[in-house]
């Protein structure tokens, strides 16, 4: 029998990771670290949105923050060329 090491980020937690193995359990530390960086960025964006956008609720701020964090590379490109945000992925 072979032994396989799997990684997850503590921010997700083991229970949540096991319920979503396709997106939260990784076969390399580098992949888990990348997920951890997305979660850290998302947390900071959420706090920023709640401070800067009046009447935004926590759930909406968290959802927006996660979308921005998961697509941070696209947002970096958008600062130079805003239209990339709404260009189909296969064209960008």
Residue 69 is predicted with a pLDDT of 97
Cα–Cα distance measured from residue 81 to residue 83, given in angstroms and rounded to the nearest whole number:
6
Task: Identify the sign of the CA torsion 45, 47, 48, 54.
Answer: positive
Residue 4 is predicted with a pLDDT of 86
39, 9 contact by CB (below 8 A): yes
Assess if residue 4 is contained within a domain. Answer: no
**How many domains are contained in the chain?**
1
11: left (phi over 0), alpha (psi -120 to 50) or beta: alpha
Residue 91 is predicted with a pLDDT of 59
Assess if residue 5 is contained within a domain. Answer: no
Boundaries of domain holding 67: 14-83
pLDDT band at 90 (very low <50, low <70, confident <90, very high): low
Assess if residue 75 is contained within a domain. Answer: yes
What phi, psi does 27 have (nearest 5°)? -95, -5
């Amino acid at each position: 029998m072979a032994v396989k090491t799997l990684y997850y980020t503590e921010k997700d937690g083991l229970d949540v990771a096991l319920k979503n193995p396709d997106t939260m359990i990784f076969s390399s530390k580098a992949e888990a670290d990348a997920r951890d960086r997305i979660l850290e960025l998302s947390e900071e964006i959420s706090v920023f949105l709640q401070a800067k956008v009046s009447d935004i609720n926590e759930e909406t701020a968290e959802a927006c923050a996660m979308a921005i964090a998961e697509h941070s590379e696209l947002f970096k490109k958008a600062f130079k060329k805003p239209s990339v945000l709404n260009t189909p992925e296969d064209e960008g």
